[in-house]
Amino acid sequence: MILQENQVQPTITKLKSFAQTYDTVFWLESCNLPNAHDIGAFELVIGLGEKSKIELTSTDFSWDAVSSYLDEQAWKFFALSYDLKNEISKLETKNKDVLNWPVLSCVKPELTITLSKNNEFKVYGVSEAELFKLLDTVNEKDSKPIVTFSAISASLTEEEHHQRVRDIKREISEGNMYEMNLCLEHVLEDFECKQPFELFHKLTRTSPTPFSAYVQLNHKHVLCASPERFLTTLNNRVYSQPIKGTSKRYENFAQNQESRLHLANSIKERAEHIMIVDLVRNDLSKLCKVGSIQVDELFEIYGYKHVNQMISTISGELESSPNFVEAIKATYPMGSMTGAPKHIVMKFIDALETAARGWYSGTIGYIQPDGNFDSNVVIRSLLYDSEKRVAKFSVGGAITFDSDPTLEYEECLLKSEAIRSVLDITAREASFLH
């Protein structure tokens, strides 16, 4: 059915309340923002409940089990940990993850709901009439999330972060790598949030992004305001859209234009960006027909609420029909969150970072019954375990030979601005400010 313009927002409001009656929720939305190169048809994709679920850890992981589970032609939603790279590249992770979630979670939902850009509304699992009857029985939920936590700690101090940047620059100068993404984690202890889904919507109002995602798998919650797409397939082509290069977004038009121009013309930012574009081209070549890889747009600047981002779009014609497992094996983890050369850099990441990334810099997405899929990069995100009463958020940036340690740390602060702002606001409302 096609929703009239005046029906869209009331329907979404009811869906928000309805979703909170489930313990398994995938809520993937564009926040009404165009994405880079305008790829994709959906404004909103929702998966609710679970007909079945597969969750695998590093100790029981099996690609055969994953392929078997994905074989059925049905809607599927997934979340992959960055540490799935150990199963793909035969690596190890010595650092600990305070959350210690599975490296792969995949759900076949009871209900799937999609809203397209042209307001086409589709429901899978029940009829549209049945769904609207259910929506009418649900009361609107309290929209004020209450957050409390006792302490916040960082995996690296500012000076330690500066030293890691200097260490990476030394490795680059010695020819051991070209570029490395260095991440900084913050852990919030005794963390409680009575309305994590509402906190997610507060985050997306503070920082609307085209690849936002909320995931609840019982006690596991992901509140993700991501501007970056990892992989998607469409019309037998695969697309990747890495982000590399960030500048501050200003409300003043002239000031913001200057910021955009500085980003667009920065030799340092363009150098780190083009290295990842080349890495992605190489990754996609493992899946695509010879000679079909193309760069659809290069060094484009896109503006979001707090930042301007440099984004490129790379695509290729698939050798065969979309196959999610083969695509992940060929390209994961995404180059924008590792650096180059990927395999070597992943070893340095484990040596220089002090906390396992877990689901941060992983991916969340869906697979359609016809095999086509879409996925984001889990950045600008809060990960919360209500059973362990702990949450964390991480930020990172690409380090090159020209990186300045002070500026790299300031970029981390800029990228975490939305999450820090939302946590401070909610803590202030709860009279529990840290």
Residue 428: CB partners within 8 Å, gap ≥ 6? none
Residues with a known catalytic role: 228, 244
Residue 361, sorted as left (phi over 0), alpha (psi -120 to 50) or beta, turns out to be: left
What is the SS3 assignment for 173-194?
A: HCCCCCEEEEEEEEEEECCEEC
The answer to whether the beta carbons of residues 104 and 66 sit under 8 Å apart is yes
DSSP assignment of 272-307: HHHHHHHHHHHHHHTTB-TT--EEEEEEEEEE-SSE
Give me the residue label for tokens 């009829």: 127
DSSP-assigned states of every residue in 36-71: GGG--SEEEEEEES-SEEEEE-TTT--HHHHHHHHT
252 class by beta-carbon count within 10 Å (0-12 exposed, 13-18 middle, 19+ buried): exposed
Three-class secondary structure of residue 167 per DSSP? helix
